[in-house]
Amino acid sequence: MCLIVFAYKQHPEYNLILVANRDEQYTRPTESLHHWDSPAGIIAGRDSLRGGTWLGIARNGHFSAITNHRNGLRRSSSTHSRGLLTTNFLSSSISAQNYAESINQTNVPYDGFNLMVADSSGLFYVSDDSRHYLQLQPGIHGLSNARLNTDWPKTRQQKQQLEEHIRTGHPDSQALIRMMGNPLRYPDELLPDTHVGIDIERALSSSFIQLAHYGTRATTLVMQDYQGNTRIIEQNYTATSIDEKIEYELKVAPFGGSQIAEPATDSAGHIPAP
């Protein structure tokens, strides 16, 4: 995943509303969203090359998603796939908090990552270079190829769009998926410097990326209510067109429990950025 925005306990009906884009080389072999045979109980897409996943949910109530941390000064050297961080949690019985703590303390040399894990105990975030994991509080959050809630233009824009969808009352799944299809590139003065050069920064600045050999391969939507009824939809894309759409529904223990948090608002009635 390269862009994730989500509202956690910010809607009267939905405990979690999360929408995410996965950006990858078009030639990288991938299995679309499906029930896994092994490890059993997982619903996720799968990287056929390394065996991991970028986002998934398990019938034991575990949820996980990951993005890479872009830094052109660091050369990729790890033989340990980041995608196994998500797979290992989804197939485990360890709590999300304990898993985040164990990853925070690991000496395994993964390439740069931002990892989210969730279960009934809460929603947690950990990155490769942090000395602490974070338990997320109710709010609207964004995660791209930098640390959680880093104010990149596309992350800020999609958080604002998600807030607007929430305020409509009942969020529309197709509208949320379309929201992530924005190809707009942002002005140079707004772009981050991740040490990859301005041409690449420009190309990767949009929410939806469509280059010759690399781009947005899928948009995934997760909607869970306070009873744990969970819907996951994956809209796939080729280099030139919209591809198959896949959908599953299941019931698990709600992430972070069933308590509804009242969204905090500012004087103008807007949900403030975390």
Q: What is the mean pLDDT of residues 233-262?
A: 92
Q: What is the mean pLDDT of residues 252-270?
A: 67
The tokens describing 155, both together, are 């992350």
Is the pLDDT score of 34 beyond 90? yes
Return the minimum-mean-pLDDT range out of 102-106, 169-173, 206-210. Answer: 102-106
Measured distance CA(67)–CA(134) in Å, rounded: 16
The mean of the pLDDT values for the chain is 91
Question: Which residue did the predictor score with more confidence, 40 or 132?
Answer: 40
Nearest to 221 by CA among 259, 248, 260: 248
**Other beta carbons less than 10 A from residue 242's beta carbon:** 11
Q: Distance of CA 99 to CAs 33, 86, 95, 222, 273, Å?
A: 24, 10, 6, 21, 27
Is the pLDDT score of 185 beyond 70? yes
- According to the model, what pLDDT value does residue 257 have? 87
- CATH code of 3-251, in short, is 3.60.60.10
Is the pLDDT score of 242 beyond 70? yes
Is the pLDDT score of 271 beyond 50? no
Q: How far is CA 205 from the centre of its chain?
A: 17
Nearest to 25 by CA among 207, 210, 213: 213
Q: Are 2 and 67 in contact (CB under 8 A)?
A: yes
Most confident of the following: 123-137, 230-244, 254-268 = 230-244
Confidence tier at 70 by pLDDT (50, 70, 90): confident
Measured distance CA(246)–CA(230) in Å, rounded: 14
Is the pLDDT score of 270 beyond 60? no
In the chain, the amino acid numbered 79 is T
Is the pLDDT score of 175 beyond 90? yes
- According to the model, what pLDDT value does residue 269 have? 37
pLDDT digits (tens, 9 = 90+) for 99-154: 999 988 777 778 889 999 999 999 999 998 776 899 999 999 999 999 999 999 99
Nearest to 65 by CA among 132, 131, 8, 139: 8
* Contacts for 180 with CB less than 8 Å, ≥ 6 apart: 3, 19, 20, 21, 158, 207, 208, 216, 219
